Amino acid sequence: MSTFQAPKGTYDLIPPDSAAYLAVREAISAPLKRAGYGYIETPGFEAVELFSRGVGESTDIVSKEMYTLTTKGGTTLALRPEGTASVLRAALQNNLHKLGNLPVKLWYSGSYYRYERPQAGRYRHFSQVGAEAIGTEDPVLDAELIILAVDAYKALGLKNFRVLLNSLGDKECRPVYRAALQQFLAGLDLDEDTVRRAEINPLRVLDDKRDAVQKQLTGAPMLRDYLCEACKEYHEQVRELLTAAGVAYEDDPKLVRGLDYYTRTTFEFVHGGLGSQSAVGGGGRYDGLSEMIGGPALPSVGWALGVDRTVLALKAEGVELELPATTDVFAVPLGEEARRTLFGTVTELRRAGIATDFAFGGKGLKNAMKSANRADARFAIVAGERDLAEGVVQLKDMRSGEQTAVALDALVATLQEKLA
SS3 251: strand
SS3 262: coil
pLDDT tens digits, residue range 345-356? 999 999 999 999
- Decide which of 3.30.365.10, 3.40.309.10, 3.40.50.800, 1.10.357.140 is the CATH code for 329-419: 3.40.50.800
> What count of other Cβ atoms lies within 10 Å of the Cβ of residue 8?
8
In this model, does residue 275 exceed pLDDT 80? no
> What count of other Cβ atoms lies within 10 Å of the Cβ of residue 294?
11
Give 417: exposed, middle or buried? Use CB within 10 Å, 0-12, 13-18, 19+.
exposed
- Contacts of residue 396, defined as CB under 8 A and 6 or more positions apart, other chains included, come to 379, 380, 381, 382, 402, 403
Most distant CA pair in the chain: distance in Å?
A: 92
Q: Which of 321, 323, 341, 322 is nearest to 332 (CA)?
A: 341
Q: Is the peptide bond before 16 cis (omega within 30 degrees of 0)?
A: yes
Q: How far apart, in whole angstroms, are the C-alpha atoms of residue 342 and residue 362?
A: 13
Where in the sequence of the chain do the CATH 3.30.930.10 domains occur?
Answer: 17-173+227-317
pLDDT tens digits, residue range 209-268? 788 888 888 888 888 889 999 999 999 999 999 999 999 999 998 887 756 678 899 999
Q: How far apart, in whole angstroms, are the C-alpha atoms of residue 262 and residue 292?
A: 12
In this model, does residue 56 exceed pLDDT 80? no
> What count of other Cβ atoms lies within 10 Å of the Cβ of residue 407?
12
Superfamily of domain 17-173+227-317: Bira Bifunctional Protein; Domain 2 (3.30.930.10)
Q: How far apart, in whole angstroms, are the C-alpha atoms of residue 108 and residue 103?
A: 16
Q: How far apart, in whole angstroms, are the C-alpha atoms of residue 286 and residue 79?
A: 22
Q: Which of 264, 268, 166, 154 is nearest to 222 (CA)?
A: 166
pLDDT at 363: 82
As a whole-number percent, the residues of the chain with pLDDT over 90 amount to: 69
Nearest 5°: phi and psi at 345? Answer: -65, -40
pLDDT mean over 176-189: 87
Q: Where is average pLDDT lowest: 11-20, 84-93, 230-239?
A: 11-20
Q: How far apart, in whole angstroms, are the C-alpha atoms of residue 18 and residue 115?
A: 23
Question: Distance from CA of residue 53 to its chain's centroid?
Answer: 24
pLDDT tens digits, residue range 107-151? 999 999 999 887 777 889 999 999 999 999 999 999 999 999 999
Where in the sequence of the chain do the CATH 3.40.50.800 domains occur?
Answer: 329-419
> What count of other Cβ atoms lies within 10 Å of the Cβ of residue 62?
21
Q: Which of 164, 403, 420, 126 is nearest to 272 (CA)?
A: 164
Pairing of strands 392-397, 379-383: antiparallel
